Amino acid sequence: MIEKWVLLSLLSAFSLATSDALTKRVITQENEYVIGWFRVLFGLPALFAALVLSGPLPQIDGPFLAAFAAALPLEIAAILLYYKALRLSPLSLSLPFLSFTPVFLIVLSFVLVGERVSAVGALGIALIGLGGYTLNLSALRSGFLEPIRAVGRERGSLYMLIIALIYSVTSALGKIGVEHSSPAFFGFTYFLALAISLLPIIVRRSGAGRLLPLLKSNFRIALLPSVFDAIAIVSHFYAVSMVNVAYMIAVKRSSLLIGTVYGFLLFREQNIRERLLGALFMFAGFVVVVIAK
């Protein structure tokens, strides 16, 4: 029988990939921050419902506050880069670079949380990283390092690689926050703080006079992506409370395979064969991680 954390991680993966594909259809340079804010905002009712159903509020302590304060500014930076990357680059080329998050987490989850991965688990995570390399496999004819250099020429991919590093830190910090409170409490308070913190950035970007019309014009198109994002958020926090954070994130990164398929089906993106090969390496890594656990 499949373990509960795997099912929750896969639910989070599918919901996130679907939300990203729906966002890709409607995002523009003018509304990218607003769409990102709505996705955070619309996740709050689901997180609040989970908090209400979870019982008494937990006692928070110093480690919770420290993890919360350290993760919040990093998460804001990642969100702002994330929606730029979705707008600038094909899904099948940018999203798979998030596969490096569990690779970075091998070290960071040990340093911050004290979690170790097994040798087999490390192999699975390495396969996920290899998948990211093969996304630009056609560039290999120009040299062994050319697939890596190609990342620097594709801004969306470069942004996603930076985001992967940021998420490796915030995922480990989030694990601390969950362990010192509860999944529902950390999730709700964290995303509430994100929604409040992002609003001044949107006001500065759009201008106070244009904020209300911009919110009204994008509310409807942001609704469906935000519903799927809310499902991804809730299932993420419950899954990460059950297992080693590197394993959970590795399984969640199966969203990259789903996102690659969306890129071909919805946007007719090019070079899909090599990108599917990279995504399949990542999926193989996911299977190895589940077996290792």
Q: What is the mean pLDDT of residues 221-249?
A: 88
Check residues 234 and 256 and name the one with the higher pLDDT: 234
- Tokens in use for 172? 């480990």
Q: How many structural domains comprise the chain?
A: 1
CB atoms within 10 A of CB 212: 10
Can you tell me the distance from the alpha carbon of 92 to that of 255, in angstroms, rounded to the nearest whole number? 11
Shortest CA distance to 184 belongs to which of 61, 16, 54?
Answer: 54
Q: What is the mean pLDDT of residues 45-54?
A: 90
Q: Name the CA radius of gyration of the chain, rounded.
A: 18
Q: Return the pLDDT at 31.
A: 87
Q: How far apart are the first and last CA of the chain?
A: 13
* Three-state SS sequence of the chain: CCCHHHHHHHHHHHHHHHHHHHHHHHCCCCCHHHHHHHHHHCCHHHHHHHHHHCCCCCCCCHHHHHHHHHHHHHHHHHHHHHHHHHHHCCHHHHHHHHHHHHHHHHHHHHHHHCCCCCHHHHHHHHHHHHHHHHCCHHHHHHCCCHHHHHHHHCHHHHHHHHHHHHHHHHHHHHHHHHHCCCHHHHHHHHHHHHHHHHHHHHHHHHCHHHHHHHHHHHHHHHHHHHHHHHHHHHHHHHHHCCCCHHHHHHHHCCHHHHHHHHHHHHHCCCCHHHHHHHHHHHHHHHHHHHHHC
CA angle (36 as vertex; 30, 40 as ends), nearest 5? 150
- 138-186 per-position pLDDT tens digit: 655 555 555 456 566 778 878 888 998 999 899 889 989 999 999 999 9
Phi, psi (rounded to 5 degrees) for 222: -85, -10
Can you state the angle between helices 208-240 and 245-252, rounded to 10 degrees? Answer: 120
Length of the chain in terms of residues written: 293
- 56-105 per-position pLDDT tens digit: 999 999 999 999 999 999 999 999 999 998 888 887 767 777 777 777 87
Q: Return the pLDDT at 107.
A: 75
Q: What is the mean pLDDT of residues 262-284?
A: 78
- 206-228 per-position pLDDT tens digit: 777 788 888 899 999 999 999 99
- 11-29 per-position pLDDT tens digit: 999 999 999 999 999 998 8
Check residues 108 and 57 and name the one with the higher pLDDT: 57
CB atoms within 10 A of CB 49: 14
Q: Return the pLDDT at 195.
A: 95
Shortest CA distance to 249 belongs to which of 82, 130, 104?
Answer: 104
pTM score, two decimals?
Answer: 0.80
Across 165-174, 240-249, 272-281, the highest mean pLDDT is recorded for: 165-174
- 280-293 per-position pLDDT tens digit: 787 787 677 666 66
Q: Which position has the token pair 């890596």? A: 148
Q: What is the mean pLDDT of residues 195-204?
A: 92
> What's the whole-number average pLDDT of the chain?
83
Q: Which position has the token pair 């490096």? A: 100
Q: Return the pLDDT at 292.
A: 67
* CB distance 70 to 173 below 8 Å: yes
Q: Return the pLDDT at 179.
A: 92
Q: Return the pLDDT at 176.
A: 92
> Which residues, other chains included, contact 183 with Cβ-Cβ below 8 Å and sequence gap of 6+?
50, 54, 237, 238, 240, 241
**pLDDT class of 275 with cuts at 50, 70, 90:** confident
Q: What is the mean pLDDT of residues 181-194?
A: 94
Can you state the angle between helices 32-41 and 183-206, rounded to 10 degrees? Answer: 150
Give the structural domain span for 16: 4-292
Computed from CA positions of residues 5, 7, 10, 12, in that sequence, does the dihedral angle turn out positive or negative?
Answer: negative
Check residues 215 and 125 and name the one with the higher pLDDT: 215
Q: Return the pLDDT at 137.
A: 64
Across 165-174, 237-246, 250-259, 267-276, the highest mean pLDDT is recorded for: 165-174
